[in-house]
Structure 1
């Protein structure tokens, strides 16, 4: 019988995207303050990314004549990966709070980085997703193998892109340092 061990902590991240200027939603509409209230201090916000070059799917909801931009956001504190279902319900409620006439103006895709993988939460079941709780599923979107991210057929196109993977590597490097300190504090 295997011995149950304390679980490793992970670095929660959000792929935030919105119609138009992301700074408007993050700072003027105070989405960033809401995120800090729920997930703690932020230690990384990427430059604005052109998310629309990967899909027009969200334009039906966010607006046909707008450019959809994104940012990756990382949180300073490490949490249990078991928090993912709760984290997704929080981000869903924030999306609903800022919706207009039932249409989202912001999208908050929450997940986490572990030294071996990048995991995203979803409300949609699929063959590659594992049910967690509260109607939330987890998907290993990328694995970190031989010092690089490995995508899968099911991985979202943006996370297959070098630009996104470079950002995730930067966040992963920060995570490794935080994890090292966390592990040394447990001894």
Structure 2
């Protein structure tokens, strides 16, 4: 029988995308920091529009995003509640029922990048409160590796490079936390 071990804390990460991301991010940043703690990493602006047109009718065109890391480490069991909070924040910025900003929370652990979703698929595990989670990238042989079902943007080198920087930051925070 395996020995039950203490669950490791993880690094909260969000991908935030919108048309006019720089403007929208200045609006949302104080709300995110109030809810989730100080931001300790903000990626360069990442193209999102080239991967899908799924959101264009609702959110507009030329969608761009930023990956954001938060300073406080979280317990992975918090992910469902965090997803519900980000959905609430999105609704607060909606106009006539259409989102103007999308916030996709997840976390980085030294071995994986996990995303939360309200949508169930065969590759997602139910984690409570109507929320599912998926391992989006695995860290193997010194690098993040996409899986067959990984969204195209997270397969892109530019996104993986940004997530690798956040992982490096997480490893430093983790070392301090468990000191």
TM-score by length of 2: 0.98
Residue 23 of structure 1 and its aligned partner are, at CA, apart by: 1.6
Q: Say which of 52, 56, 74 aligns to 2:53.
A: 56
Aligned position for 1:25: 24
- 1:167-186 equivalent positions in 2, closer than 5 A: 167-184=162-179
Corresponding residue pairs, total: 179
SS at match of 1:3: coil
Residue 36 of structure 1 and its aligned partner are, at CA, apart by: 0.6
Q: Is residue 111 of structure 1 aligned with residue 110 of structure 2?
A: no
- Looking at structure 2, the residues matched to 152 and 3 of structure 1 have their Cα atoms a distance apart, in angstroms, of 29
Aligned position for 1:45: 42
Aligned position for 1:11: 11
Residues 118-149 of structure 1, C-alpha deviation per residue, up to 9 Å, x if partnerless?
00000000000000001000000000000011
- Looking at structure 2, the residues matched to 60 and 75 of structure 1 have their Cα atoms a distance apart, in angstroms, of 30
Residue 41 of structure 1 and its aligned partner are, at CA, apart by: 0.6
Residues 77-102 of structure 1, C-alpha deviation per residue, up to 9 Å, x if partnerless?
10100000000000000011100000
Gaps of 5+ in 2: none
Residue 183 of structure 1 and its aligned partner are, at CA, apart by: 1.2
SS at match of 2:49: helix
Root-mean-square deviation (Å): 0.8
SS at match of 1:52: coil
- 1:69-80 equivalent positions in 2, closer than 5 A: 69-80=64-75
Residue 3 of structure 1 and its aligned partner are, at CA, apart by: 2.5
SS at match of 1:163: helix
- Looking at structure 2, the residues matched to 96 and 159 of structure 1 have their Cα atoms a distance apart, in angstroms, of 25
Residues 3-31 of structure 1, C-alpha deviation per residue, up to 9 Å, x if partnerless?
32211000000000001x2121121x2x1
- Looking at structure 1, the residues matched to 136 and 69 of structure 2 have their Cα atoms a distance apart, in angstroms, of 17
SS at match of 2:29: helix
